[in-house]
Chains A and B, each alone.
Chain A
Amino acid sequence: MSVEQLLGQPLRVINLGLELFARELETDGVPVVHVDWRPPAGDPSVAALLARLEDDAEESAG
């Protein structure tokens, strides 16, 4: 959905990180799913590399 479409639509949010932000959105009646996010195992640079491989695989598949 392009930004022009978003500006006319109710927000529906996925929240990664500070739980406080999910709570605030719930107070506003916004549908929100809070993710129990944890850092991937190992060093951030390794995790980044894995994520990139994953994304590259998706790009070439899609």
Chain B
Amino acid sequence: MAVRAVVWRSYYQDSMILMRIAESLRALPGVREAAVLMGTPANHELLAAAGLATPETKAATPGDLVLAVAASTDAEAQAALDAAKGLFDARRREREATGRILPRTLESALRQLPDANLVSISVPGAYAKFEAMRGLRRGLHVFLFSDNVSLADEVELKQVAVRRRLLCMGPDCGTAYLNGVGLGFANVVARGRVGCVAASGTGLQAVASRLAALGEGVSHGIGVGGRDLSAEVDGAMTKLALEALAADPTTEAVILISKPPAASVLPGLEATIRKVGKPIVVSCLGAAARGDGSARWVTTLEDAADAAVALLDGRSWAPRAFSDPVAVRTRLARLRADTTRRGAGLLGLYTGGTLAHEARLLLEPLLGPIASNVGAGGEAGPHRILDLGADEFTVGRLHPMLDPEGRAARVREAGRSAGVGVVLVDLVLGRGVHADPARPLAAAIEDARRAAAADGRSLLVVASVVGTERDPQGLGAQVGALEAAGAEMVPSNAQAARFAALALNPSLEAELLGDAR
């Protein structure tokens, strides 16, 4: 094993570009591991843990770029470093070809675009707060994608924003829609009559995609960051966003998507909801329905979209376990005709944190305790649900929505685990994420099912896709690829979770399917 590294002094590139270059180095002949990152203290720890630290890398400061490769031979390691240089050179030439001089600061950017009305910030968390504060002080609305911003800083930013009636969407805001334009990781949806306020990026993506499937569209989708309804932040941005949608003439119905609000936040939130004066649906994961009837409280993301569209159309609406219970019964009968042994455990492998959380909340009452890294508690037992986008899985790596290989490896591993009978997965499409995430997942599903069969077992894979036909990946093509690999495709995450529960526990049929024939 040969390790080679170079350090480029004062050379900054954004983390996504660096991680993409590292991915392409890992695919080169003989390369076992590659790192392309800034010399921050956390990254030095990563380099050491990966066996990539050298005397050269140890001297790198946070403003320096470190390229380190471990390969079978010294020549292969050197070839990978040369390839990295080639990739950076190509990027530089591409940028120079545009002939544009890029500003270095927000102030100089404002000279180029004096009537800018929003600043989108995705710099490292340590710098995010003061860039956001600069934006707010210059009267700009802020889309704050960066995470690792402290709660105290979030409170301070949002207080300034509220005083100036400016949006501070985030920190840790993955998705938003304003005036028909998607920010961050957004699905391509039509403009329409439904306005959303969301403390969850994937939650907003799921609702927007479901609205698109129903032939509806989004007027605005205002992200607020996952902690907005905590006691400390007190729903500052949620309340401002609700007031804005109430006043917006293009918004005819409103959906609020979040985790359960802190008890101290509820009275103020409900007072704001009462003043919206438009049909409003509230989907707070894990919160019981409450309130005075001024809002319709629902339990899943799918129900939020369905209820809002029903309210707009003046139709009565009631939640259903499955949109097509007869088809579900037929599928279950087909599954049960196969008497091959199947493990008793469920393994949820998710890329969307809110989708993982939703699945856990739906499944615990049906299957019993589920070990998980989302939500509270969770005992070790036969069932597990993992959010693979959580920090512990993404340090120095791309988020699984951008790089599907990490999850694919876990799906393959599940095929070799005798205890796992059902694998439950999501797939999130949209702009900015992987160009064809179904392909590596489908290959892994085929391998896993083959490995189980070789061991005399069957493995059921249940999947749902968040996306639209207009997304770059195309919803139909992605669903088709997973179906061809043998996955049971279900129209939503909630229905996929329930279907997985039925496959594991037939006695739930009466509860979930009634007398559908």
Contacts and interface: CB of A to CB of B under 8 A. Distances in A.
B337 interface: no
B145 A19 contact: no
B166 A16 contact: no
In this complex, the interface size class of chain A, counting residues with CB under 8 Å from chain B, is 35 or more
B14 interface: yes
Interface stretch (B73-81, B106-114, B456-464): B106-114
Nearest to A9: B117
Contacts of B245: 7
A24 B182 contact: yes
Contact of B116 (A33, A39, A51): A33
B247 interface: yes
A18 B117 contact: no
B253 interface: no
Nearest to A16: B121
A31 to B, nearest CB: 6
A15 B14 CA distance: 12
Nearest to A18: B122
B103 A11 contact: no
Q: Which of A16, A20, A31 has the most CB of B within 10 A?
A: A16
Interface stretch (B124-132, B270-278, B380-388): B124-132
B17 interface: yes
B146 interface: yes
Nearest to A29: B181
B217 to A, nearest CB: 15
B222 to A, nearest CB: 8
B8 to A, nearest CB: 13
B240 A39 contact: no
Nearest to B431: A24
A51 B133 contact: yes
B14 A17 contact: yes
A4 to B, nearest CB: 5
A37 B179 contact: no
B373 interface: no
A12 B115 contact: yes
B178 A35 contact: no
A33 B117 contact: no
Instruction: Count chain A CB atoms within 10 A of each CB in B62, B133, B140, B183 and give the residue with the most.
Output: B183
Interface string A49-61: 0011001001100
Nearest to B131: A16
Contact of A35 (B102, B166, B243): B102
B145 A17 contact: yes
B105 A35 contact: yes
B133 to A, nearest CB: 7
Contacts of B134: 51, 55
Interface string A5-42: 01111111111111111101101101111111111110
Interface of A: 1-4, 6-22, 24-25, 27-28, 30-41, 43-45, 47-48, 51-52, 55, 58-59
Interface of B: 12, 14-17, 38, 62-63, 102-106, 108-110, 112-113, 115-124, 126-127, 129-131, 133-135, 137, 139-141, 145-146, 164-167, 178-179, 181-184, 220, 240-241, 243-245, 247-250, 431-432
Given A17-B123, A22-B120, 4 more contacts: A4-B248, A7-B245, A28-B182, A39-B62
